[in-house]
Amino acid sequence: MPSHWFPKAYADWVARVRVPSGFLLVVAFGIFSQPSAGSLSVGIPVSFAGLALRAWASGHLLKDQRLAESGPYAFTRNPLYIGTLLVACGLVIDGRSWVLAITFAIVFLFVYLPVIELEEQHLRDIFWAYEEYARRVPKLIGLRRGPPRVKLPFAVKTYLDNREYQALLGFLLGLAFLIAKWLWFAPTTT
């Protein structure tokens, strides 16, 4: 569905609720999470996979300066959002709560998917090669058409400039909360 399909009012609403929805997720996470040793052992690796994908993507992304086609962008047009989804899935697994799963799914469907569409329209507007790139590389998952055109190395400076380390720090804070909650509420054996 092309992003210009969205009425301007919906695009404006999505822009306004994107950050507050993150705070809603944090509050829901704090209230409804019920971590266990088993859930943490499964969810943490899923989240780390998402963080690794986000980090890899950030080392290839020069926002609004160059069309990102290298690294994970050679395989998906939206590796940052796939990484975010993996991090969220890991946290939902960690938290063992259907309320969290439903809340995260609603936010992804009604906020993040429209944001992807709006960002793609922005990229079409500023990069003449975006349309051809979009024909070759799937939006989220799928098979790409042809070999990657651009092969640039990961750049630590670009990763740092994009401040992607903040996602790792945020995750580590959330993980510390989960571990503390698990330890606090874990049944004791006597």
Residue-wise pLDDT tens digits, 111-165:
888 889 889 989 999 999 999 999 999 999 887 887 777 788 999 999 999 999 9
Q: pTM for the full model?
A: 0.86
Residue-wise pLDDT tens digits, 3-52:
455 677 777 788 788 878 888 888 888 899 999 999 999 999 999 999 99
Q: How confident is the model at residue 81 (pLDDT cuts 50, 70, 90)?
A: very high
Of 114, 108, 91, give the one whose Cα is nearest residue 43.
91
Secondary structure class of 61 (helix, strand, coil): coil
Q: What is the pLDDT of residue 4?
A: 54
The burial of 155, by beta-carbon neighbours within 10 Å (0-12 exposed, 13-18 middle, 19 or more buried), is given as: middle
Residue ranges of the domains in the chain?
16-185
Q: Which residues contact 160 (CB under 8 A, 6 or more apart)?
A: none
